[in-house]
Chain A
Amino acid sequence: MSTDLIIHTQSVVKTYNTGKVIVPALRGVDLDIFRGEMVAIMGPSGCGKTTLLNTLSGLDEIDSGLIEIDGRNLSKMDDKTRTRYRAENMGFVFQFYNLLPVLTAAENVEMPLLLSEKKVSAKEARRRAQEALEAVGLSTQANQLPGELSGGQQQRVTIARALVNAPAIVWADEPTGDLDSQTSQDIMDLMRRLNQENNQTFVIVTHSPEIGAQADRIIWMRDGRIEDNPAAVAGALPADLLVRTPLDVQASPLKLQPSF
Chain B
Amino acid sequence: MNTIFGIPANILLYTLLALSGLIVLGVGVTALRFPVAFRLGIRNLPRRKSQSFLIISGLALSTLIITSALGIGDTVDYSVKSGVYDNLGGIDMQIATSKLKAQSSFSFGSGAPATTAADNWFDAGVANEVAGQVDGVTLDASVAAAIQTLPVVNSQTKLSEAAVEIRGLGGATGNGLPLPEGLNSLADGEVLVNQSLATALDASIGNELMIIKGMPQTFTVAGIVPDGELAGSSLAVILPLERAQVFFGKPGQITAVFVSNQGDSETGAALSDKAASQLEPIAGSLVVNPVKAEQLDAAATSAEFITTLFVTFGTFSIVSGILLIFLIFSVLAAERKSEMGMSRAVGLQRADLVRQFVTEGLAYNLLAAALGAALGVGAAILLASAIASLLSSSTLSVTPRVSLRSVAIGYTLGLVISFVTVVFSAVRNSRVNIIAAIRNLNLPVPPRLPQWTLFLRPFTVWKAAVQKAGQGNYGEALRLFLFAGPKAVLSFWGGLWARGPVLLALGFLFAWVGVNVAKQSGVYGLGVSMFLIGLGQFFQWVRIPSRWAYTFTGLSLILYWSLPTREIGKLKDLGNNPGDFFISGMFLVGGAILLFLYNADTLLNVFAALFGRARSLLSVARVSVAYPVSAKGRTATTLAMFSLIIFTLVSTATITNTFSNFLDVEGGSGGYEILVQTNPFNPVSADKFTSGIDQLVADGKIEQPAALASAVFAPVKAQSPNMTASANYAINGADAAFFETNNLALNGIAKGYTSASEVWAALQADPTLIVVDGFSVERSGDPTFQRDESAFYISAIRASDTAFDPLKVQITGKDGTAHEFTVIGTLGSAPAFYGALMSAEAAKSLGYEGANRYFVRLESGADAQITANAIKSTFSTAGLQTSLLKEQLEKSRATVRSVFYLIQGFVGLGLLIGIAALGVITIRAVVERRQQIGVLRAIGFQRGMVQSVFLLESLFIAGLGTVIGYGLALTFAYNLYLQVAADQGLAFLPPWVVLAGIGAAIFAASLLTAWLPSRSTSKIVIAEALRYE
Contact = CB atoms under 8 A, between A and B. Distances in A.
A103 B941 CA distance: 15
Interface stretch (A114-122, A127-135, A241-249): A114-122
B1003 to A, nearest CB: 24
B1025 to A, nearest CB: 9
A84 interface: yes
Contacts of B1027: 50
Contacts of B618: 114, 122
A100 B1026 contact: no
B1023 interface: yes
Interface stretch (B552-560, B622-630, B812-820): B622-630
Given A54-B1023, A122-B612, A122-B618, A100 B938 contact: no
B937 interface: yes
B619 interface: yes
Contacts of B155: none
B932 A59 contact: no
Given A59-B938, A101-B630, A102-B627, A107 B622 contact: yes
Nearest to B442: A147
Contacts of A101: 630, 932
A94 B619 contact: no
By CB atoms of chain A within 10 A, which of B938, B941, B942, B1022 has the most?
B938
A102 B940 CA distance: 18
B940 A84 contact: yes
A161 interface: yes
B256 to A, nearest CB: 78
A111 B939 contact: yes
B936 interface: yes
Contacts of A145: 630
Interface in A55-114: 55, 57, 59-60, 79-80, 83-84, 86-88, 92, 94, 98-103, 107, 111-112, 114
B505 interface: no
Given A54-B1023, A98-B931, A98-B1026, A114 B619 contact: yes
Given A54-B1023, A115-B619, A98 B940 contact: no
B46 to A, nearest CB: 20
Contacts of A116: 940
A100 B615 contact: no
A231 to B, nearest CB: 30
A94 B943 CA distance: 21
B1021 interface: yes
A222 B1026 CA distance: 22
B940 A100 contact: no
Contacts of A112: 939-940
Interface in B909-945: 931-932, 934-943
Contact of B615 (A54, A86, A102, A114): A114
A51 interface: yes
A57 to B, nearest CB: 8
Interface residues of A, number: 37
The interface residues of chain B, by DSSP majority, are classed as helix
A101 B623 CA distance: 10
B942 A102 contact: no
A120 B629 contact: no
Given A54-B1023, A114-B615, A102 B629 contact: yes
A101 B615 CA distance: 21
B1023 A103 contact: no
B1022 A59 contact: yes
B1026 A120 contact: no
A120 B627 contact: no
B938 A80 contact: no
B113 to A, nearest CB: 65
A98 B935 contact: yes
A134 B941 CA distance: 25
Interface residues of B, number: 29
Contacts of A50: 1023, 1027
Given A59-B1023, A98-B931, A120-B615, A80 B942 contact: yes
A205 to B, nearest CB: 12
Interface in B611-638: 612-613, 615, 618-619, 622-623, 626-627, 629-630
Contacts of B626: 100, 102-103, 107
A173 B1022 CA distance: 14
B596 to A, nearest CB: 16
A92 B941 CA distance: 14
A79 B623 contact: no
Contacts of B627: 102
Contacts of B1023: 50-51, 54-55, 59-60
Contact of B938 (A86, A88, A99, A125): A86
B155 to A, nearest CB: 88
Contacts of A51: 1023
A17 to B, nearest CB: 12
Contacts of B629: 102
Nearest to B932: A100
Contacts of B934: 59, 98
A14 to B, nearest CB: 10
By CB atoms of chain A within 10 A, which of B612, B627, B935, B1021 has the most?
B935
Contact of B623 (A80, A83, A100, A125): A100
B423 to A, nearest CB: 30
Interface string B422-445: 000000000000000000001000
Nearest to B612: A122
A83 B612 CA distance: 23
A147 B618 CA distance: 22
Given A103-B623, A111-B619, A114-B619, A60 B1022 contact: yes
Contacts of A121: 615
Given A54-B1023, A83-B942, A147-B442, A102 B623 contact: yes
Nearest to B623: A100
Interface in A209-251: none
B118 to A, nearest CB: 79
Nearest to B629: A102
A100 B629 CA distance: 13
A125 B613 CA distance: 12
A120 B1026 CA distance: 27
Interface string A142-164: 00010100000000000001000
Contacts of B615: 114, 119-122, 125
A231 B184 CA distance: 124
A32 to B, nearest CB: 22
Nearest to A120: B615
Interface in B700-747: none
A173 B623 CA distance: 24
A112 B622 CA distance: 13
B939 A87 contact: yes
A100 B936 contact: yes
A36 B383 CA distance: 74
A51 B1026 CA distance: 11
Given A54-B1023, A59-B1023, A59-B1026, A102 B939 contact: no
Contacts of A107: 622, 626
A216 to B, nearest CB: 24
A115 B941 contact: yes
B624 to A, nearest CB: 10
Contacts of B943: 79-80, 83
Given A83-B937, A114-B618, A145-B630, 8 more contacts: A54-B1023, A83-B942, A86-B938, A86-B939, A98-B935, A102-B629, A107-B626, A122-B612
5 contacts: A60-B1022, A83-B941, A94-B935, A98-B932, A100-B626
The 6 closest A-B pairs by CB, nearest first: A87-B940, A60-B1023, A102-B626, A115-B940, A54-B1023, A102-B630
Interface of B: 442, 612-613, 615, 618-619, 622-623, 626-627, 629-630, 931-932, 934-943, 1021-1023, 1026-1027
Interface of A: 50-51, 54-55, 57, 59-60, 79-80, 83-84, 86-88, 92, 94, 98-103, 107, 111-112, 114-116, 119-122, 125, 145, 147, 161, 173
